[in-house]
Chains A and B, each alone.
Chain A
């Protein structure tokens, strides 16, 4: 399989990089005899053994002819989409603290849902907004610190907390 050969090369490269990075570790002359480099060196050797075993497996498979339909551009479409989702997640994370959890996550979810659950606007908006509000309140109550964003947007998060707290107090008042 083509992928196996790529893995083989990547493994050798990783082992080489790892060995090089190991030499960058500063060593003290005192301390335990093995030092911080011993175990990593052992690991590097084991990784090369693994690469060797993989080579043997690739070699054995060479004799078996593999049916290989040529991948057209259609077949690779999912890779582009996943790359796109990863980039979108990166963007989401870069503004996560600035925009605050509620705003950033709502936008993040709406775009993804618009792509993967096309056309169902009402369901998407309801799910995204309700999820963000409810999860925000729930996790704040569980003492998990979710960002509220810079001053321009933090009022949204604060408003949500005020409203939900008011609702809870009202319920308690009615039912007690």
Chain B
């Protein structure tokens, strides 16, 4: 019953007025970030890290996670009203949500999004609460070799699931690891790849990379669209923000299914909200009695994916808090934040600072309630944001990015690095190289190398340590599976479709 005490203590932390304020602030900012195309939660959290230096880490992390799951709520608003996902994981919501809006059922689409997000988000946090403790006791058995293979698995999982080309994802991952090696090597004190530039001795900060790759590159992409004259078509909100009984009945089970899918995908390192919502959509379409309605305004196509991408946020917190391994882009940035505050997430965190970790988890219950209120009755407020012309918004985002970059160390050289990463991110996007693997490997790169070298030191240079225990063997097997997956899946599908045709 020790855990139960901790959970209840967590509520006493989360319900402190200062933390309630930060939960609200995080959810509010997160909704705005989710609604505004051009900036996502990863960049938003990265920009806030320097600002939070003086704050209590618990409060700062509560705010950041509020931004993380809040953005998933907000992203559906633009998806439904402008046919543009405000956030990557809302891409499936555009398919049927926009169609519903065109048919005058926009209010219902927004309502079901908010409700699905709330139900699945809350259930997801329940899952997080239940899974956290058993996982930490397993995590205590992890040594450097186990951690290395776990991170290796995370990277193979991201590579195989990110986009169409596993080769490009792999290149992106390795490039990130290479960038992570820039700086003074801690174990030998030797400078690596610093090119005589003193600012590079501490390595390339991941905040600079995230702001450049996500915020600045995204602005460049929006500017390209503006230049090409691509203008979003916004649909005015008509009707009430509520569902008919029939729509609700059709949505309940997709929400439940989406929630489970989302949570499981979230726990998997590498797979994120986008994959969760895609899987939920595909699943709902396959299980539906009227699949031809999907793409024309089927409410199941909104309820399922929205539930999935919110349950995914809770799932992604599981490996982050219990093992210190991020489940995706935004959690990778949060891991970076933990490191900056000098806190190591993992089993020891649960033992040494239960107030922090349970305060954080319990704040998510409160946050979901706040977001339901922000997204249902108050949605009009956020819709107004969409009326800001891009020509004003994009330069403002660049200015905010500048503040964020400068706030890290007050060093203008880092601003230039930001531009470099911005251009890199833009080029990568044009040539279809996924950026998320690079961010993940940048954050994990240093730790990964340390674990590698520690493990080799323990084993005296014998690489067999990486297959030496049950955990490592399982993880190696999973890694191999995820490497082969993109090559096996098309064949599995073809085989199954072939056998279905002949049956």
Contact = CB atoms under 8 A, between A and B. Distances in A.
Nearest to B409: A145
Nearest to B430: A3
A36 to B, nearest CB: 4
A54 B163 CA distance: 14
A57 B391 contact: no
Contacts of B223: 78, 81-82, 85, 116
A52 to B, nearest CB: 8
A28 B430 contact: no
B51 A131 contact: no
B403 to A, nearest CB: 6
A35 B395 CA distance: 45
A7 B174 CA distance: 14
A12 B307 CA distance: 43
Contact of B391 (A18, A78, A113): A113
A117 B181 contact: no
A142 interface: yes
B367 interface: no
Nearest to A128: B395
Contact of A28 (B54, B190, B412, B415): B190
A46 interface: yes
B461 interface: yes
Contacts of A39: 181, 449, 452-453
Interface stretch (A19-27, A148-156, A159-167, A168-176): A19-27
A118 B192 CA distance: 47
B171 A51 contact: yes
A93 B391 contact: no
B227 A7 contact: no
A43 B177 contact: yes
A132 to B, nearest CB: 8
B171 A93 contact: no
A32 B394 contact: no
A127 B192 contact: no
Interface residues of B, number: 60
Contact of A81 (B177, B227, B406, B410): B227
B226 interface: yes
A139 B407 contact: yes
A47 B178 contact: yes
Interface in A120-149: 120, 123-124, 127-128, 131-132, 135, 139, 142-147
B242 interface: no
A11 B171 CA distance: 8
Contacts of B433: 7
Interface in A47-85: 47, 49-51, 53-54, 56-57, 77-78, 81-82, 85
Contacts of A132: 399
A13 interface: no
Contacts of B170: 46, 49-50, 53
Q: Which of A27, A53, A127, A144 has the most CB of B within 10 A?
A: A144
B218 to A, nearest CB: 12
B187 interface: yes
A40 B395 contact: no
A116 B395 contact: yes
A108 B178 CA distance: 33
A53 B167 contact: yes
A86 B423 contact: yes
B86 to A, nearest CB: 20
B131 interface: no
B188 A43 contact: no
B167 A109 contact: no
Nearest to A92: B402
B416 A90 contact: yes
A18 B456 CA distance: 23
A151 to B, nearest CB: 19
B422 interface: yes
A144 B51 contact: yes
Counting chain B CB atoms within 10 Å of each CB, the highest count among A50, A77, A94, A120 belongs to: A50
Contacts of A97: 412
Contacts of B415: 93, 96
B185 interface: yes
B167 A33 contact: no
B488 interface: no
14 contacts: A7-B168, A7-B433, A31-B187, A77-B227, A82-B223, A93-B415, A108-B398, A113-B395, A131-B396, A131-B399, A135-B403, A139-B51, A139-B407, A144-B51
Given A40-B181, A147-B406, 8 more contacts: A47-B178, A54-B168, A56-B167, A86-B419, A117-B391, A118-B391, A120-B389, A127-B392
Interface of A: 3-4, 6-7, 11, 14, 18, 21-22, 25-28, 31-36, 38-40, 43, 46-47, 49-51, 53-54, 56-57, 77-78, 81-82, 85-86, 89-90, 92-94, 96-97, 101, 105, 108-109, 112-113, 115-118, 120, 123-124, 127-128, 131-132, 135, 139, 142-147
Interface of B: 50-51, 53-54, 165-168, 170-171, 174-175, 177-178, 181, 185, 187-188, 190-193, 220, 223-224, 226-228, 389-392, 394-396, 398-400, 402-403, 406-407, 410, 412, 415-416, 419, 422-423, 426, 430-433, 449, 452-453, 456-457, 461
